[in-house]
Amino acid sequence: MPHPLVGKPAPSISLPDANGETFTLTPGANGVPVALFFYPKSGSWGCTKEACQFRDNIAEKDVYKSSGLSVIGISPDSVEKQKVFVEKQKLTYPVLSDTSGEARKAYHVGKGLLGLADSARVTFFIDSKGVVRDSLDSTLNYGSHSKFVTKWLDKINTEEKRAAEPAPASETSADAPTTDAPTTDTVPAAEERE
């Protein structure tokens, strides 16, 4: 069953970042796609691997660079813990603190690991118009989230290339003469040939 936000405008959120400053996400406002990923706990093994995969993809993958993708991570950790996490892992994108759970509620993200973790691991791909195109909910498979975003970026690139291609020439109507067939003006009448 698809996530309830798929195909709908993504909610706007405002949360403190790792420096304690308010970061506001208004999907579609900048005209770039967004990879918004919720994760259980900053500094844990799987969450660190996931965050670093996004960091590395931003630096290394052309499709991330050319799309202008905005990557944003969110967990229930405090601003102080986010700051340590961002600095230690040299993360190059905003990591937000959702201690109150308001962003998780807005995006319908529940608890993870059968309720043992405060947040599930869910990634949303939001297109440049601010519409949630898809989501991936996989708490244990941390490695699948950056791959999920890469596949969506490839799909968006393909869609944009197709949209930019010239439309095929329209077929001639059945009533209009074609240049292949002679018209009655160019074919002499039988009496004129005698």
CA distance 83 to 106: 24
User: Does the annotation count 47 as an active-site position?
Assistant: yes
Out of 13, 15, 36, 47, the active site residue is: 47
CA distance 28 to 19: 24
Following CA atoms 82, 83, 85, 88 in sequence, which dihedral angle do they give, to the nearest 10 degrees? 180
Residues identified as active-site = 47
